[in-house]
Homo-oligomer: A and B are copies of this chain.
């Protein structure tokens, strides 16, 4: 990609774009690349400064991981979403490690973390933008935390399944119990047990191919 392509994209994404000098705009475009990630690949690992990511197509998953390898998904990034936590050098006050994987084949714009950090030091509007992106994710993470800590598992699983069929547009979810457990920060056994219960209630049907939702209404009632 060349300067003009990045310029066209960034003028849409960055509220501070019009306030930047032509030199600074060029600086940011110069330190940008377009990157393709294969489904399943790890993009960001802990405390590296991978850079600022903007999703052009596909889907990224952001998660934390325990020493034993247990994962908890914090949120996913879809088209147009921006990832600031993958640029730990931009936000000094972020001291926790996150991981980012490509959940689908994804195409992203990647801005060098050190370039973005340098610009944010001399342009308050850029710094405010970066901090606001981070703080808004703080709210997402608190939501996940409350879900995990406060909500009963049947309700959480019902919400997860409804989100999935709404995201994919299909009544059949091609997910293993292991995958669901990973996304929900739970264990495979817990997911399997609850899906067995849902199936017994006529809400779902579990097969090798995935999980079919038979009764959306009942599922929705569980979320109330």
On A, residues with C-beta under 8 Å from B are 64, 66-68, 70, 72, 91, 93-96, 124-125, 127-128, 131-132, 134-136, 138-139, 141-143, 145-146, 148-150, 185
Contacts and interface: CB of A to CB of B under 8 A. Distances in A.
Contacts of A146: 64, 66, 96
Contacts of A142: 64, 96, 141
Contact of A128 (B68, B70, B72, B131): B131
Nearest 6 A/B pairs, CB to CB: A66-B150, A124-B124, A131-B131, A93-B136, A96-B142, A95-B139
A199 B185 CA distance: 32
A134 to B, nearest CB: 5
A135 B66 contact: no
One complex includes copies of this chain to the number of 2
Chain B CB within 10 Å, residue with most, of A72, A128, A138: A138
A87 to B, nearest CB: 13
Q: Which interface residue of A70, A124, A149 has the most chain B CB atoms within 10 A? A: A149
A132 B124 CA distance: 13
B96 A143 contact: yes
Given A70-B150, A93-B138, A138-B138, 9 more contacts: A95-B139, A96-B138, A96-B142, A96-B143, A124-B127, A124-B128, A128-B131, A134-B138, A149-B185
A94 B64 CA distance: 21
